[in-house]
Amino acid sequence: MAKITYIEYNGKAHVVDVANGLTVMEGARDNNIPGIEADCGGACACSTCHVYVDDAWVAKLPRKDAMEEDMLDFAFEPDLVRSRLTCQIKVSDKLDGLIVRMPEKQI
C-alpha cells in the first residue's frame, strides 16, 4: 500500500492510501478525488487522468511508453518531463509518498 498525495489545481491536498496493484488513477477514482476524470476508465485512450508528477518523483517512476506519450499530446498544457497519465502508473510500496498535481482542467 502507498500513501499518495493528490493536489487539486486550487492547492487542496488529498492524502489517501492506495492498494498495491491499482493504478494512481484508480486510487483517485476510488477516493472521489476531484480533478481526475478518467473518461476512458484507464484504457489509455484519453488524457483526462493527466497530472504533473512532483519533481522529486519523476525519475522514480517507470518510463512512459509510446502510447502514453501519444495520449499526453492531447492533455491540457503537458509538461515534457512531469506530465503523466495516472492510469499508466501502477501502485506499489515503492510509490509510498508520491505527490501528483492536477492541471487546471482535463480535456
Q: What is the pLDDT of residue 106?
A: 97
Q: What is the pLDDT of residue 30?
A: 97
Averaged confidence pLDDT in the chain:
97
User: Does the residue 107 lie in any domain?
Assistant: no
User: Does the residue 83 lie in any domain?
Assistant: yes
Q: What is the pLDDT of residue 45?
A: 96
User: Does the residue 106 lie in any domain?
Assistant: no
Share of the chain above pLDDT 90, in %: 100
How many whole angstroms separate alpha carbon 101 and alpha carbon 106?
12
| Contact predicate 3/94, CB 8 Å | no
User: Does the residue 76 lie in any domain?
Assistant: yes
| Contact predicate 107/47, CB 8 Å | yes
Which among 104, 43, 54 has a CA at the least distance from the CA of 84?
Answer: 54
pLDDT band for position 79 (50/70/90)?
Answer: very high
Cα atoms in the Cβ-side hemisphere of radius 13 Å centred on 99: 8
User: Does the residue 52 lie in any domain?
Assistant: yes
How many whole angstroms separate alpha carbon 99 and alpha carbon 53?
6
pLDDT band for position 69 (50/70/90)?
Answer: very high
Q: What is the pLDDT of residue 105?
A: 97
Residue 59 sits in a domain whose CATH number is 3.10.20.30
User: Does the residue 31 lie in any domain?
Assistant: yes
User: Does the residue 82 lie in any domain?
Assistant: yes
Question: Taking the complete model, does pTM exceed 0.85, yes or no?
Answer: yes
Give me the number of domains the chain comprises: 1
Range of the domain at 56: 2-101
Span 27-41, pLDDT tens digits:
999 999 999 999 999
pLDDT band for position 55 (50/70/90)?
Answer: very high
